[in-house]
Chains A and B, each alone.
Chain A
Amino acid sequence: MTAELGNIINSGAMWACAIFLVLLVLAQAVLYIRLAYKEAKTIGYDTANLRKSFRLGMITGFGPALTGVVAMVSMMTLIGSPITWMRLSIIGAVPTEMGVASVTAQSLGITLGGESVDIKVISLIYLMMAIAGTGWLLVTVILTPRMGELRERIGKKDSRWLIVFTAATTIGLFANLAAQQLTTGGFGAVAAAISGFGVMFFLHNIVGKKSKGIKNYALTISMVVGIVLGILLG
């Protein structure tokens, strides 16, 4: 990415584009809190409990939110700070958003993070991130009011295959993306991918069985080790 492109995607205008969404997410939360307080008064539930619940929710959400910090800064270097701020305030976590960005780059026959990323590529990536997110949001808007009856209709047998099907698409996606990085990125990328895989496997499946807390930081640690080894060996 050129310095000029870096300036464009981190410009004040891009921050202005991004802040609307962050404010809307905040506004929605505030509106629902108000609705919940009104309902609590109607049913005669002590609103002091709601204040405690809000605080508990904040505390519960805080730790997991912190675990994404390293991934977030990496995402900022690849596609810009304002878009990262905006995208992470909604739906996907970093791996999902980077999955969308990488698949988009792959459809153009290029690798994200490389020299061939220009403003047209970035613009297409921003568009595809918006479209991918719209999928989740539209389904939520359309299905949520009808969810009760819908869940009854999905039988137990089908839902088992649905679990496998979802797992298979996720494995297919990351197998393809990891294979692409391994075969195009040179020795450093091979080192980064293998150490990322190895560290995650170790933390998630071996250490993670004894201490659950480590799982939350497994992605961060895998990425840091992968990047460091990539730089050292590349």
Chain B
Amino acid sequence: MSNNVDINNTLLSDPQNIKERWLRPVNRMGTITILLCILVTFLPSIYLNIRYDAFIGWDSVFPALLLVVVVFGVNWFVEPISFYPVLGNAGSYMGWLAGSVAQQRAPAAIVAREAMEVEQGSQEAEVVSVVAVAGSIVSNLIVLTVTCFVGTAIINVLPEAILSGIAAYVLPAMFGAMLAMFGAKEPLLTIPVFAVMIGLHYLSKFITLPIPTLMSTLLVLVSLAFSILYARALYKKGRINQVK
């Protein structure tokens, strides 16, 4: 390292130098670890398919794939782009791999930066954020692992009646709650969409299509299309609360 502190400091804060010294290894490490993770996420499905011959067939994969892409495709892009300013490069790789960015990763980075009183956008802020995000990931893994093993033990001793009650009612309760959480901000949008979907789901019981599963697939698509078009109309009239 140079003995001349002034020259050294200029060199250290030079954007090109930061790019070479910090961003390049950060990007390389993020890319490699995430690509490895992508491969590993397919293991459970591959295992079931090979060991138990559980592959359902392509004619069932494609409708499911279509729905997943249509329902979640926008979020794949919007979320990483919108949280980037809070997380930075290393934080993005860690944050999106570990998830719960809004609830856990971003708050961890912000709290640590405030507490350490580092200057926004500096390398000091960057390293503080990275370590804080890593810390929040470690505590998430601890909670998950403990819950998983304690939870498995609890499930094993719960009476059958309660277990089947949870299986039957957890999804309506959760989806009702999620609708209230996201929908309450936009009642003008949520109420018509929900009313129409209840009507369509009810009517769909009386209609038989040549391919039975086509109806439920269509319902998902109709719900999204109707919600987006209706939102567009409200947006043009300036009736969407979130962007007023």
B65 interface hit (Cβ, 8 Å): yes
**CB-based closest 8 A-B pairs:** A226-B173, A57-B135, A61-B136, A230-B169, A172-B227, A57-B132, A196-B176, A168-B231
Can you report 30 A-B residue pairs in the complex whose CB atoms are below 8 A from each other? A21-B41, A22-B141, A36-B126, A43-B123, A43-B127, A57-B131, A57-B132, A78-B170, A85-B144, A91-B98, A91-B99, A107-B213, A113-B170, A128-B68, A133-B38, A139-B80, A140-B97, A162-B78, A166-B74, A167-B240, A171-B179, A173-B220, A175-B193, A176-B224, A178-B194, A181-B172, A184-B201, A196-B172, A219-B177, A219-B181
Chain B, range 197-224, C-beta contacts under 8 Å to A: 197-198, 200-202, 205, 212-213, 215-217, 219-220, 223-224
Determine the distance from Cα of A53 to Cα of B118 in the docked complex, in whole angstroms: 11
Scoring A83, A113, A129, A192 by chain B CB atoms within 10 A of each residue's CB, the highest score goes to A192
Is A35 within 8 A of B130, CB to CB?
yes
**Extra pairs beyond A65-B144, A200-B176, A226-B172 (6, CB < 8 Å):** A39-B21, A52-B112, A91-B99, A124-B60, A137-B97, A164-B243
> Which residues of chain B come closer than 8 Å to A103, judged between CB atoms?
64, 67-68, 71, 220
Determine the distance from Cα of A89 to Cα of B140 in the docked complex, in whole angstroms: 8
Is A54 within 8 A of B169, CB to CB?
no
> Which residues of chain B come closer than 8 Å to A201, judged between CB atoms?
180, 184
> Which residues of chain B come closer than 8 Å to A62, judged between CB atoms?
139, 143
Is B115 within 8 A of A56, CB to CB?
yes
Interface size on A, residues (CB 8 A): 163
Is A113 within 8 A of B171, CB to CB?
yes
Digit string of A178-213 for contact with B (CB within 8 Å is 1, else 0)? 111111110011101111111111001100000000
Name B37's contact: one of A21, A55, A176, A197 (CB within 8 Å): A21
Determine the distance from Cα of A14 to Cα of B27 in the docked complex, in whole angstroms: 31
Shortest Cβ gap from B208 to chain A (Å): 11
Determine the distance from Cα of A138 to Cα of B205 in the docked complex, in whole angstroms: 38
Is B21 within 8 A of A119, CB to CB?
no
Shortest Cβ gap from B168 to chain A (Å): 6
Is A234 within 8 A of B84, CB to CB?
no
Name B172's contact: one of A69, A185, A219 (CB within 8 Å): A185
> Which residues of chain B come closer than 8 Å to A192, judged between CB atoms?
169-170, 172-173, 176
Is B76 within 8 A of A188, CB to CB?
no
Is B64 within 8 A of A107, CB to CB?
yes
Shortest Cβ gap from B44 to chain A (Å): 5
Is B176 within 8 A of A39, CB to CB?
no
